[in-house]
Amino acid sequence: MSHDDLTPEEVAKILPPGAALGWGLAKPPQRGPKREMSIDLIVKKAVEIADKDGLASVSMNRIASALGFTAMSLYRYIPSKDDLLILMQDAACDISLPAERTPQEWRESMREYVLGTVDVFRKHPWYGDIPILGIPITPNNLRIVDWALQSLRDMPLNHYEKMSIVLLLSSYARTYGMLQRDIDRAVLAGSSEEEFSGLNYSAALRYLIKSEDYPNLHPIVMSGAYTGENEDENTVGNDLDFGLDRILDGIEQFLIQKNAL
Amino acid sequence: MSHDDLTPEEVAKILPPGAALGWGLAKPPQRGPKREMSIDLIVKKAVEIADKDGLASVSMNRIASALGFTAMSLYRYIPSKDDLLILMQDAACDISLPAERTPQEWRESMREYVLGTVDVFRKHPWYGDIPILGIPITPNNLRIVDWALQSLRDMPLNHYEKMSIVLLLSSYARTYGMLQRDIDRAVLAGSSEEEFSGLNYSAALRYLIKSEDYPNLHPIVMSGAYTGENEDENTVGNDLDFGLDRILDGIEQFLIQKNAL
DNA sequence: GATATACTGTTTATAATATAAACACTTTTC
DNA sequence: GAAAAGTGTTTATATTATAAACAGTATATC
């Protein structure tokens, strides 16, 4: 249980093939013709296509054609499309991390982490479309987890408390990353931010939302706040910052209660 | 802007077809043969299939076959699969809401809302697979938004502040709903909860996570806390409750600051 | 009652998907 | 030199959403 002496081959067998490839655990072939492609090249091209045209446009054929090969050739490098997705996900997590911060700057550090993670979703709008099949186990993804933990390093919290806080932050980052991405996407699709926020639907909602059926929502729709009209009257400002401030306040309460501050 | 006198037909034109159908804004056909199906029947069957075999198994052919018709017949009722997805989403939101609570019980009320929303994801594991294309605009979905607002009704907050808090809660519910669903899914797929939590990968991670590369994560992986070994040593308990408590604490701070309590 | 109109469900057709199987080559190992 | 392992390609399969054309049916208007 605690004494583990595994060979790289054994480790590769435990992990999903895509993850094993991400860790570079596949030993290069000894015989046969020289390879004309590489895993990196394939993943890079797949990411490029996804960035430009979305995850749905990433087909084996499209990738291979862009590289000047046939679809089937890719299977000599990556066993399935699911494994390719794992590799793409990890590639998107290959970001440069900011310098470490002092323990007193835990709030800034956490904010930096959340904003940095949101950025992954904005840079790679397809990132959130890949389903989560488990906890992070690929190298770059884990590097980000390590980054998130940095802000808590010297706090008198146990491992589980630290992980729960990181999970809370990463969840928040994921949600807002996807929200932000959806807005970007709607804007790009030409439907404009107005359509996304619901501005176009204002009139329809005013007709449909009766105060009998929706007593609490009714006044908000009527005021135009639900669909984001009169954005200048919005005292809250950025929703992302608002929610993040509440979460950081909540964490602060916990840290005080734990005598960690 | 504030004086809107729209006919149902005009409202139907503003909304996406799926949403218009959800609101019952399509006038029944006047001529032609009697319809042998109905929108409700189709959506119900689609939900049934998705619940059993996942969203990917919901094809026009599969739905129609299950009802004893051909795939193309469905297009006489719903113009596209995207519109069907909107209707499925709204159908999943057709849940029974608990009794109202007093203003002092705002914490319980919010908790109830979050847990109720998480339940939608667990009951309909496909729910989170449908991409969000904008703010809620369908009847049952908006009923849930109305429910969430109830806890804030008598608080001295403006519309934007209320919506931001609801967005924070609903985002949290979404994240944990999907997380919970992913765990359920992994268990169902036979890979067992252990595989999802990463227990199966413990040995591999202990080999891969070097303290030089992952200084903050290293001790957590080595202790087994990352992969959830020794769950009995976990002092935090349920991650969902932990994060929710932090968020509610953060909201409480905000309410105090606003003299709302 | 006749006819035009609107609507029904069906059949046929299309382009795209992941990937399995068989193939002819090529490089290394024995 | 022969065997083994690996290369990229060709061919084939089952599945997808939905467009177009069809024959039949119920209603509206003459």
pLDDT at residue B180, as a whole number: 83
Name the pTM for this structure.
0.89
For an interface test with B, give the residue of A23, A160, A242, A251 to mutate (most B CBs within 10 A).
A160
Percentage of residues in chain A having pLDDT higher than 90? 71
pLDDT interval class at A1 (50, 70, 90): very low
**Per-range mean pLDDT, top range of A3-12, A41-50, A187-196, B12-21:** A41-50
Spanning CA of B78 to C1' of C8, the rounded length in angstroms is: 14
The pLDDT score that the predictor gives to residue B191 is 58
Residue B220 has pLDDT above 50, yes or no: yes
Segment B205-216 shows an average pLDDT of: 96
Q: How many CB atoms lie within 10 A of CB B123?
A: 14
* Confidence category of residue B234, pLDDT binned at 50, 70, 90: confident
* B4: confidence class by pLDDT, cuts 50, 70, 90: low
Residue A206 has φ and ψ, to the nearest 5°, of: -60, -30
CB within 8 Å: B235 and A153 = no
A186 vs A95, residue with greater confidence: A95
User: How large a percentage of chain B has pLDDT more than 90?
Assistant: 71
Judge whether residue B2 has pLDDT over 50. no
> Who wins on pLDDT, B128 or B199?
B128
* A22 neighbourhood in chain B, CB within 8 Å: none
pLDDT digits (tens, 9 = 90+) for A40-84: 999 999 999 999 999 999 999 999 999 999 999 999 999 999 999
What would the pLDDT profile of A99-133 be if each residue is shown by its tens digit?
Answer: 999 999 999 999 999 999 999 999 999 999 888 87
**A139-148, B185-194, B210-219: which has the minimum mean pLDDT?**
B185-194
Task: For residues B112 and A144, give the distance between their C-alpha atoms in angstroms, rounded to a whole number.
Answer: 33
Q: Which residues of chain B lie closer than 8 angstroms to A161, CB-CB?
A: 235-236
pLDDT at A190: 61
Which pLDDT score, from 0 to 100, does residue B228 have? 80
Domain ranges within chain A, ordered by starting residue: 8-92, 103-197+230-257
Q: What is the mean pLDDT of residues A239-255?
A: 95
Closest CA to B21 of B129, B145, B147, B140: B140
pLDDT above 90: residue A183: no
pLDDT at A27 over 70: yes
Residue A205 and residue B134: Cβ atoms within 8 Å?
no
The pLDDT of residue A218 is above 90: yes
End-to-end CA distance of chain B: 35
Q: Which of strand D's nucleotides are less than 7 A from any protein C-beta?
A: 4-11, 15-21, 24-28
User: How many CA atoms lie within 13 Å of B203's alpha carbon, on the beta-carbon side?
Assistant: 15
Classify domain A103-197+230-257 by CATH number: 1.10.357.10
Over residues B173-203, the pLDDT tens digits come to 998 898 888 777 767 666 555 556 566 788 9
The mean of the pLDDT values for chain B is 90
Cβ atoms of residues A219 and A213 within 8 Å: no
pLDDT per residue over B103-123, tens digit each? 999 999 999 999 999 999 999
Q: How far is B92 from chain A (nearest CA, A)?
A: 18
Cα separations in angstroms, A234 against A69, A73, A164, A239, B219: 53, 54, 32, 10, 45
**What pLDDT does residue A194 have?**
58
Which segment of A90-99, A191-200, B59-68, B148-157 scores lowest on mean pLDDT?
A191-200
Q: Which nucleotide is nearest to B68 (CA to C1')?
A: C9
Please tell me the predicted confidence (pLDDT) of residue A2.
44
Task: Read off the pLDDT of each residue in A87-95 and give the average, rounded to a whole number.
Answer: 98
Between the alpha carbon of residue A147 and those of residues A112, A173, B22, B34, B121, the distances in Å are 10, 14, 45, 63, 30
pLDDT tens, residue by residue, A187-211: 766 655 656 656 678 899 999 999 9
Q: Nearest by CB to A135, which of B143, B197, B233? A: B197
Q: Answer yes or no: is pLDDT of A161 > 50.
A: yes
| pLDDT given for residue A196 in this prediction | 61
* pLDDT tens, position by position, B68-103: 999 999 999 999 999 999 999 999 999 999 999 999
Helices (H), ranges, B127-258: 139-150, 159-186, 192-197, 202-208, 218-223, 239-257
Q: State the fold for domain A8-92.
A: Arc Repressor Mutant, subunit A (1.10.10)
What are the tokens at A57? Answer: 């446009």
Average pLDDT score over residue span B160-184: 89
User: Which of B139, B159, B247 has the CB atom closest to A246's CB atom?
Assistant: B247
Q: How far apart are CA A80 and CA A84, in angstroms?
A: 7
A172 three-state secondary structure: helix
Distance B76 CA to D27 C1' (A): 18
If one compares B10 and A186, the residue with the highest pLDDT of the two is B10
Q: Who wins on pLDDT, A16 or B229?
A: A16
Average model confidence (pLDDT) across chain A: 90
More confident residue, A67 or A7: A67
Residues engaging strand C (CB under 7 angstroms) = A 30-34, 57-62, 71-72, 75, 80-82; B 29-33, 35-37, 64, 69-73, 76-77
Task: List chain A residues with CB under 8 Å of B197.
Answer: 134-135
pLDDT at B138 over 90: yes
Distance CA A207, CA A152 (A): 50
